[in-house]
């Protein structure tokens, strides 16, 4: 069913005083992209954009930016830029987040890689089972598919 036949009915019911509101509503029916955003981006989504903007920055153990990063240095830097404080290491960051199930993860949440109870790596969830991270020496910040099921998720408070 097309939205077009409903538009005149919407406008006539709205009356002259609400013509602008009805026109706006009609425009959002015809062009869904014109609908206003439901809410502002979360801190995690904002931090994700910061991390993505660092694509290509070289990995350096212990580095926290702005031009070189290790894994937890990238997450620390990205969240600091949006007003959130995280501890320095991946394991400490895991302990400082609200833990989530994989089915509850959202873009901007942290993805913690672990072996047993030892957290050894962290990245920022980008959706579609991918993360932004600083992988290891000799590489640079990049978007990459999550390569293991040995991950935990955390949301920065």
For the stretch 20-60, pLDDT in tens is 444 443 443 333 444 445 567 999 999 999 999 999 999 99
Which residues have a catalytic role annotated?
A: 71, 121, 133
Average pLDDT, the chain: 84
pLDDT above 90: residue 139: yes
pLDDT at residue 39 in the model: 66
Mean pLDDT confidence for 83-87: 98
What is d(CA 112, CA 121) in angstroms, rounded to the nearest whole number?
Answer: 6
Cα end-to-end span (Å), the chain:
44
Identify which has the larger pLDDT, 15 or 132.
132
Q: What strands lie across the sheet with 151-155, from one edge to the other?
A: 98-100, 151-155, 110-115, 118-127, 130-133, 142-145
pLDDT at residue 12 in the model: 44
pLDDT at residue 62 in the model: 98
What is d(CA 48, CA 46) in angstroms, rounded to the nearest whole number?
Answer: 5
Q: What is the DSSP letter of 25?
A: H
pLDDT above 80: residue 16: no
pLDDT above 50: residue 152: yes
For the stretch 93-136, pLDDT in tens is 999 999 999 999 999 999 999 999 999 999 999 999 999 999 99
């Amino acid at each position: 069913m097309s939205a077009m036949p409903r538009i005149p009915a919407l406008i006539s019911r709205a009356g002259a005083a609400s013509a602008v509101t009805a026109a706006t509503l009609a425009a959002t029916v015809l062009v869904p992209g014109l609908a206003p955003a439901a809410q502002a981006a979360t801190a995690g989504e904002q931090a994700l954009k910061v991390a993505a903007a660092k694509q290509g920055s070289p990995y350096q153990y212990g580095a926290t930016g702005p031009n070189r990063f290790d894994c937890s240095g990238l997450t620390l830097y990205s969240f600091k830029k949006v007003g959130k404080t995280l501890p320095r290491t991946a394991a400490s960051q895991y302990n400082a987040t609200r833990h989530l199930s994989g089915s509850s993860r959202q873009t901007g949440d942290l993805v913690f890689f672990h072996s047993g109870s030892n957290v050894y790596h962290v990245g920022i969830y980008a959706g579609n089972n991918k993360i932004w991270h600083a992988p290891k020496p000799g590489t640079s910040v990049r978007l990459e598919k999550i390569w293991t099921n040995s991950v935990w998720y955390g949301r920065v408070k």
